[in-house]
Amino acid sequence: MSFLGAVIDGVLLGGYYAMIACGLSFMFGIMKIINLAHGSLAIVAAFMLWTIAERLGYNPFLALIVVLPAMGCLGWLLQRAVLERSARSGELVPILSTFGLAIVVENSLFEYFGADTRSLAPYVGSLSYDSFDIGAGLYVGELAVLTFAVAILLLGGLQLFLTYTPLGCAIRATAEDPDTVELVGVNSRFVNAVAAAIALVTVGLAGLFLGLRSSFDPYVGSMQLIFAFEAAVIGGTGSLWGTLGGGIVLGIAQTFAAHLHPQGFLLAGHGVFLLVLVGRLYFSGHYLRALLKLKLG
């Protein structure tokens, strides 16, 4: 495969990573919590979509009408029942809670669905293997392009929401100063629950595209969490668009390395992440904290 072909594939892969990462960044930027169950919740969404497609015969895209609101409710519940309470005991406790949750979710999925890998690809016709001919002997997957386009729309939509709507404004203010925001009449608990709901809706969307582009089983959530985190950290500097940048870098590194060695895919991804981390640490000194904090623009 040509160099250009690999780059394009990598960039498009970055679109998926941006999608899975934006929920993680969003939740961290607003509630300062890293949700270790993030990946496994994406798999929950994928399984929900699969169940609807398999048992009821609906196209997964259509099934989103049910699954996305369900994920939103799950996010609300997650914030109110778990994150809000555990955060009271300190900033470290929610890490433990979400880790425990991840274990429960993954193994419950295994219990119910078994170890077989599933895929959403069979239910969308030929979308997952059709490609566009873009000339010069290059082909790009239709699904990959769609994923990238949806990712752009998602990030753009979120950015617009945060900038121009009153609720978005309230979310940004709560992220910046949750105590003072109460003094101007904003219910910070409500706002955080909405933010969590939004984050999980994006996770649901990411779950769809994960299921379409590859097969999944109950335990791939951890890998998705790691990719999301790596993309978010590589992109780092602030706006949601940084997450897209990070995703693209990750995607390109992985795609190239995959051509060199079978283990290359994973190693290169982790390698780039570690390089960026070390680079930031030693060349930016005390700016590190700000850069890694994934604040929202």
Partner 1 sequence: MDAHSDLSIQRWTSLSLGVAIVVAVLFVLLAVGPAFLPRTILDKLTVLFIYVCLAAMWNALAGYGGMISAGQQAFFGLGGYLAIRLSEWGIWPYPALIAAAALAGLSALPISAIVLRLRAGEFAIGMWIIAECVRLLVNLDPVIQGDTGRSLIALSTFDAAERRIFTYWMALASMGIMLGIIFLLLRSRLGSSIQAIRDNEEAAASVGVRVLVAKRIIFMIAAVGCALAGALWLATFTSFQPRSFFGIQWSAYMIFMVLVGGIGRFEGPILGAIIFFLIETWFGTSGVWYLIMLGLTALLFSIFLPKGIWGYFEDRFHVSLLPVGYRVQTFVSGPDRRLGEPFN
Partner 2 sequence: MSLLSISALDIRHGLLRAVREVTFQVGQGETVALIGANGAGKTTLLRAIAGAHRASRGQIHLDGLDVTSMPAYQRVTMGIALVPEGRRLFAAMTVEENLQLARASGRQGDWTVDRVMDTFPMLKARRKARCGTLSGGEQQATAIGRALMTNPRVLLLDEVSLGLSPLAVDLVYKSVESLIASGATILLVEQDLKRSLKVANRVMCMLEGRIVIEGDAKTLTREQITDAYFGHHHKRSQAEKAS
Which partner in partner 1, partner 2, none is near 170 (CB below 5 to 8 A by kind)?
A: partner 2
292 in Cβ contact with 234 (< 8 Å): no
The nearer residue to partner 1, 4 or 104, going by C-beta atoms, is: 104
The string over 104-123, giving b where at least 16 C-beta atoms fall within 10 Å of a residue's C-beta and e elsewhere, is: ebbeebeeeeeeeebbbbeb
CB of 166 to partner 2, least distance (A): 7
Q: Does 243 bind partner 2 (CB under 8 A)?
A: no
What span, in angstroms and rounded, lies between the C-alpha atoms of 297 and 294?
Answer: 9
What span, in angstroms and rounded, lies between the C-alpha atoms of 48 and 120?
Answer: 11
Q: Does 179 bind partner 2 (CB under 8 A)?
A: yes
- Could you tell me how many helices (H) and strands (E) the chain has, helices first? 13, 2
* CA atoms 157, 87, 182, 80: torsion sign: positive
CB of 184 to partner 2, least distance (A): 5
- One-letter amino acid for residue 275 of the chain: L
50 closest CA partner among 147, 129, 116, 136: 116
Interacting residues with partner 1 (CB under 8 A) = 28, 33-34, 36, 82, 85-86, 89-97, 99-104, 107-108, 110-111, 222, 225-226, 229-230, 233, 263, 266-267, 270-271, 273-274, 277-278, 281, 288-289, 292
Q: Does 183 bind partner 2 (CB under 8 A)?
A: yes
The nearer residue to partner 2, 29 or 235, going by C-beta atoms, is: 29
The nearer residue to partner 1, 163 or 284, going by C-beta atoms, is: 284
The nearer residue to partner 2, 40 or 79, going by C-beta atoms, is: 79
211 closest CA partner among 34, 101, 63: 63
CB of 151 to partner 2, least distance (A): 25
Which partner in partner 2, partner 1, none is near 188 (CB below 5 to 8 A by kind)?
A: partner 2
Q: Based on the number of CB atoms within 10 Å of its own CB, is 219 exposed (0-12), middle (13-18) or buried (19 or more)?
A: middle
- Chain residues binding partner 2 by CB under 8 A are 166, 169-170, 172-173, 176-177, 179-188
